[in-house]
Structure 1
Amino acid sequence: MCESTVYSTDGDKIMEDALFIKIDGENIGLTDILGTRKDITGAIVEIDLDKHAIYVKLSE
């Protein structure tokens, strides 16, 4: 499958099974396989396609 888990750079899990990510400046919209949406503020700093992991540095 193509789902990924989104983590903060501190290692905290933000969302499992994310299928859709929309970036608008510092706003990042995440949607999982069930259609649950979460909006966060930060920047994607790493995407590991092999491990299905996305790392976000959250804005303070």
Structure 2
Amino acid sequence: MCESTVYSTENSMIMEDVLNIKIDGNKIYLTDILGMKKELSGVIVEIDLDKHGIYIKLN
């Protein structure tokens, strides 16, 4: 599988095993492998495909 871990730009983990990310303006919607959802306000600043990490600057 290709799940990723989402971190804040301060390196605190926000969510593990994320399979789906939807962006609507400054809202970011995350869904993990178990169907758990999380809504954030921020901007994705980096996607590291090698380490499966996504970094978000929270508003």
What is the TM-score of this pair, normalised by structure 1?
0.97
Name the structure 1 match of 2:16.
Answer: 16
Question: For residue 19 of structure 1, what is the amino acid of its counterpart?
Answer: L
Name the structure 2 match of 1:30.
Answer: 30
- After TM superposition, the runs of 4+ consecutive aligned structure 1 residues lying more than 6 A away are none
Name the structure 2 match of 1:7.
Answer: 7
Cα deviations by residue, 1:9-58 (Å, 9 ceiling, x for unpaired): 00010000000000001000000000000000000000000000000000
Q: How far apart in 2 are the matches of 1:23 and 1:38?
A: 12
Secondary structure (helix, strand or coil) at the match of 1:21 reads strand
Question: For residue 32 of structure 1, what is the amino acid of its counterpart?
Answer: D
Structure 1 alignment gaps of length 5 or more: none
Question: For residue 29 of structure 2, what is the amino acid of its counterpart?
Answer: G
What is the TM-score of this pair, normalised by structure 2?
0.99
Give the aligned CA root-mean-square deviation in angstroms.
0.3
Name the structure 1 match of 2:55.
Answer: 55
Number of residue-to-residue matches in the alignment: 59
Structure 2 alignment gaps of length 5 or more: none
